[in-house]
Amino acid sequence: MTTIDWLWLLHPAMAVVLIYPLLGVVLRLAWQTRQRRLNQVKAPVTSGAEHADLGRWLAMGVVLIQLVAITVVILTKQPLALDGPRAGLLGLVLAGTLIALAALWQVRQAVYRASFALLAWFGLMGLGLQPEVWRLSDNPLDPAFWQSHFWGGIGLSGLMLFSVAARPEILRRASWRRLHITANALATLIFLAQGITGPRDLLEIPLSWQKPAIYACDFEQQVCPTP
């Protein structure tokens, strides 16, 4: 494996080592918090606060590893295609997305929380829609769109950012908690789907030195030229 191949492994490695273990803890705390609200079990008093705090770390981690994946792909897939103005513009979008994430962690007013969450999400999509980033389809009417690891990640990030932005409302109002539970149930299903589509896409990506030979194959007919 070359250096580029190891860089391409950063995203899945971070997901396996950091995100999915943290997801398990957050789901466990979410269940304890729900049971404690319903007075069905004697869950720890701190379960709610721990769920909220670790949930924020999970949300930020999901967005950050997607930024890592997209940045690595753009920088390594066709480096020569990145001319000065475009590289500068993409750098500004990346910096703006990171600043929006940092601001979302700090601000308290609802309008600012919503604004920075949307800015971070739009920045992530803007970077992800670059031609270097491979996607099965960009058409929601195409079944391949719903099987796309990229769009699954974008949807997941949106749900995670919503949970962070709406945290005070979720703590205060039952209607927002119900919406939060629905959003997180959907996010859990997407996490499961991402765990399947991620390895599928990794299986289809050859090592860097193998790509010229692999990409010479006819993927429709599933045949390769004779050596």
Q: Domain coordinates of the chain in residue numbers?
A: 3-214
Query: Beta-carbon neighbour count of residue 186 at 10 Å?
Result: 13
Query: What b-and-e string marks burial along 23-60, b requiring 16 or more CB atoms within 10 Å of the CB?
Result: beebbebbebbbebeeeeeebeeebbebbbebbbbbbb
pLDDT band of residue 100 (cuts 50, 70, 90) is very high
Position 80 scores a pLDDT of 57
Per-residue pLDDT band at 15 (split at 50, 70, 90): very high
Give the span between the Cα atoms of 116 and 223, in whole angstroms.
Answer: 48
Is the per-residue pLDDT at 104 higher than 80?
Answer: yes
Better-scored residue on pLDDT, 142 or 84? 142
β-bridge partners, 223? 218
Q: Quick count: other Cβ atoms within 10 Å of Cβ 154?
A: 18
Q: What is the mean pLDDT of residues 49-68?
A: 93
Q: 84 pLDDT band (50/70/90 cuts)?
A: confident
Q: Would you state the pLDDT for residue 43?
A: 65
pLDDT at 78: 72
Which element (helix H / strand E) includes 163? helix 149-165
User: What tens digit of pLDDT does each residue of 162-193 get?
Assistant: 999 999 998 888 899 899 999 999 999 999 99
**pLDDT at 79 > cutoff 70:** no
Give residue 205's pLDDT.
Answer: 84
Q: State the Cα–Cα distance between residues 70 and 100, nearest whole angstrom.
A: 17
Q: For the whole model, what pTM was predicted?
A: 0.88
Q: What is the pLDDT of residue 123?
A: 96
- Per-residue pLDDT reduced to its tens digit, 20-33: 999 999 999 888 88
Residue 49, pLDDT > 90, answer no
**Helix 149-165 × helix 47-77 angle, to 10°:** 140
